[in-house]
Amino acid sequence: MDMTNDIVWLTIALASITVVITKAKRKTAKLDPKCIRMPPPAVKGLSIIRILHTLLTKGLQQMIHDQYKKLGSVFTVRFFRMKATFLIGPEVSAHFYQGTDYEISNGVGLEFTVPMLGKEVGYGVDSATRNEQFRVFYDVLKPSKLRSHYGSILQEVEEYFEKWGHQGIVDLKQELNQLLMLISGRCLLGKQVREKMLDEFFTLFQELTDKFFPYVPTPATRRRDIARAKLSEMLTEIVRSRKEYSHVENDVLQNFIDFKYSDGRSTTESEVIGLMITLILAGKHTSTITSIWTGAHLLASARILKSVLVEQKILISKYGDHLDYNAFLEMDTLHNCIKETLRIHPPVAIFRRKVHKNFIVQTKDGIEYEIHSGHTLVSPVIFNNNLPHIYKDPDVYDPDRFGPGREEDRVGGKFAYTSFSGGRHACKGESFAYLQIKVIWSYLLRNFELKLESPFPDPDWTKLVAEPKGRVMVSYKKRLLATTEVVHA
């Protein structure tokens, strides 16, 4: 994937230098007194200039590739007093994903989300409070509750696409953005938002997540702050109304209102609002972008599209035109298409952690390195998902790589596929995301002939999650998928 947007990366580089110079003035953390193993090979001095040049001219993946080939699967980039250690491949990633918060944590790596989510939740609070808040996320998104969401998702999908004409041309980005907000409104936000103020909520949410750079004083960040304040007002009114009139709904918002911490304390209004915005960002925003990328890839490959259509025909012959929840559990081909989309377009390109306790990492060649407290660990998902010794022809969109007989991610090891993170940090909403996207694309493929009219899009790296750049134009024509001649691909 090309990441050579000079302006974007120059901004990142300048911002990073500013942060590093600031940190260089602070007293550094003391290392453990004994060094048992040698440290990873390091990039430092004049070499930093060369890798910055590669970053700005050829992109992040090429920069990592050059150092990976030169230094191996574990290497450190030293810049002033900052030490960022890159971990390439599943063999060296176990501690990154499984270490406890005492040993390794997110540190300040995700503080950029605070202006969007609020100071009362997520990475605006201490780790103990944050872990308790994550517990309620898991409770509302756990796989056992998916069946209860299925009917609502399907109803929103059917009602939305019934409004399309017999044929036409649409911008897939705009359509799926609106649809996923409707689904989130019904499943996550609750009836009051869904029925009375969803359009306004949708507009404000778009402004809240429009640009990647959280602290640069631009018109986009000013719009973000205004949008955050208005969203807070809207949700505060609903929360107060429910509490004042003892109005109880069977929805996620009510779960957040009723949630109690381990010490018995109830959530505050600000916490409830922050939790809701966090959930929408995780449950709607990333699913929307993955849905768009999935559609673009399906419509760009006649062979893959045919195999997905064959699967849909088989399921229609088994379940009839109205597929139930069990049918979606059997959509292995479509599931693998979504999974392959996420391999190529992970919602988060890079995961970072802060080391609090020295640990040893061993490469696949048996070389051991000691990584010291104070280092920033980097797991570049977008690079690790494209390692050729794990994924055959990684630049090719090939969902079959996850199918029977290949299962390249399983063969590659436990952390060969980390688009939803992994270990202690695995995304709680993975199953919910897959269900939403399956319902959408199953319905579209069964009821419309679709064709990608615009060129295959490039990623827009200025966004919080890299979405397709520009419009994704798709022509459609209504049809019912025939099942009289089911031919296995």
Which one, of 417, 420, 361, lies nearest residue 94 by Cα?
Answer: 361
Q: 185: which residues sit within 8 A by CB, 6+ positions away? A: 193, 194, 198, 201
Pairing of strands 42-43, 82-87: unpaired
Exposure class string for 65-84: b at 16+ Cβ within 10 A, else e: bbbbeebbbbbbbbbeebbb
Strand, helix or coil at 377?
Answer: strand
Q: Are the CB atoms for 294 and 341 separated by under 8 Å? A: yes
Q: Is 427 annotated as a binding residue?
A: yes
Work out the angle at residue 179's Cα, subtended by the Cα atoms of residues 170 and 465, and round it to the nearest 5 degrees.
90
Euclidean distance between CA atoms 331 and 354, whole angstroms: 39
Q: Would you state the structure tokens that stand for residue 242, as one six-digit string?
A: 């429910």
Which one, of 434, 414, 435, lies nearest residue 424 by Cα?
Answer: 414
Q: 344: which residues sit within 8 A by CB, 6+ positions away? A: 1, 293, 297, 385, 386, 397
Bridge partners (DSSP) listed for residue 429: none
Residue 459: φ, ψ to 5°: -75, 145
Euclidean distance between CA atoms 213 and 8, whole angstroms: 10
Q: Alpha helix (H) ranges present in 320-349?
A: 325-329, 332-344
Q: Which residues are annotated as a binding site for heme?
A: 427
Q: Which residues are annotated as a binding site?
A: 427
